[in-house]
Amino acid sequence: MRAKISYAITAAVLVVYFVLVGSRGVMLIQSGTVLTVTFGVAVLILPVIGVWFLWKNTQFVRKANALAAKLDAEGGLPVDELKRTPSGRIDRDSADEVFARRKAETEASPEDWRSWFRLAVAYHDARDTPRARKAMQRAIALHDGKTVEA
């Protein structure tokens, strides 16, 4: 619940920022000179890109959470079996060991969204965020019945 609140606050702050930047772009365009109109159009592009990026990330998080809820209902969420350092950080060797098992599971059933979901969690635990995101995107695509490139 705390993560949802943090995400909502961050999204709200970004929307306010996009509105402020957009209003500056409009003001530049209203100035009417070639230079200010050019800058105004360029400034308006930034909030459009930001809103698109925020929308895509929100959809990704929503779909990933839906998969987590479904997997939890099935009793298939990965169990946290990772060893931790005294400071609470995940032990690297422990994460690598779990990752190897999750990778083998995914290689054994590459069309199962559940194994890709668990692999994404293992990537995340191993601090490999780009691959975790890619594995989760694959899990979402497989769950939604979309064709997935290797």
Looking at residue 66, what is its pLDDT? 94
Q: Are residues 112 and 60 in the same domain?
A: no
Rounded CA separation 114/76 (Å) = 8
Q: Are residues 58 and 103 in the same domain?
A: no
Q: Are residues 107 and 134 in the same domain?
A: yes
Tokens of 149: 């490139």
Q: Are residues 10 and 61 in the same domain?
A: yes
Q: What average pLDDT does range 81-106 have in this prediction?
A: 86
Looking at residue 150, what is its pLDDT? 54
**What is the residue range of 69's domain?**
2-74
Round the average pLDDT of the chain to a whole number and report it. Answer: 90
* CATH at residue 125: 1.25.40.10
Q: Are residues 66 and 106 in the same domain?
A: no
For residue 5, the tally of other CB atoms under 10 A from its CB is: 9
Q: Are residues 69 and 104 in the same domain?
A: no
Q: What confidence tens digit (pLDDT) does each residue in 20-48 have?
A: 999 999 999 999 899 999 999 999 998 89
In 3D space, the residue among 84, 148, 98, 106 whose CA is nearest the CA of residue 128 turns out to be 98
Q: Please state, for a pLDDT cut of 70, what percent of the chain lies above it.
A: 97
Q: Which amino acid is at 91?
A: D
For residue 20, the tally of other CB atoms under 10 A from its CB is: 11
Task: Give the end of a domain, one of 74, 108, 134.
Answer: 74
The DSSP 8-state label assigned to residue 1 in this structure reads: -
Q: What average pLDDT does range 118-137 have in this prediction?
A: 92
* pLDDT at 78 exceeding the cut of 90: no
Four-CA torsion 102, 107, 150, 69, nearest 10 degrees: -40
Q: What's the pTM?
A: 0.77
Looking at residue 148, what is its pLDDT? 63
Q: Are residues 69 and 31 in the same domain?
A: yes
Residue 50 lies in a domain: yes
Count structural domains, the chain.
2
- Contact call for residues 49 and 56 (beta carbons, < 8 A): no
Residue 85 lies in a domain: no
Looking at residue 79, what is its pLDDT? 80
Rounded CA separation 33/61 (Å) = 42
- Contact call for residues 47 and 18 (beta carbons, < 8 A): yes
Looking at residue 146, what is its pLDDT? 76
Q: Are residues 113 and 63 in the same domain?
A: no
- Residue 132's pLDDT band, with cuts at 50, 70 and 90, is very high
Residue 118 lies in a domain: yes
For residue 118, the tally of other CB atoms under 10 A from its CB is: 23
- Residue 147's pLDDT band, with cuts at 50, 70 and 90, is low
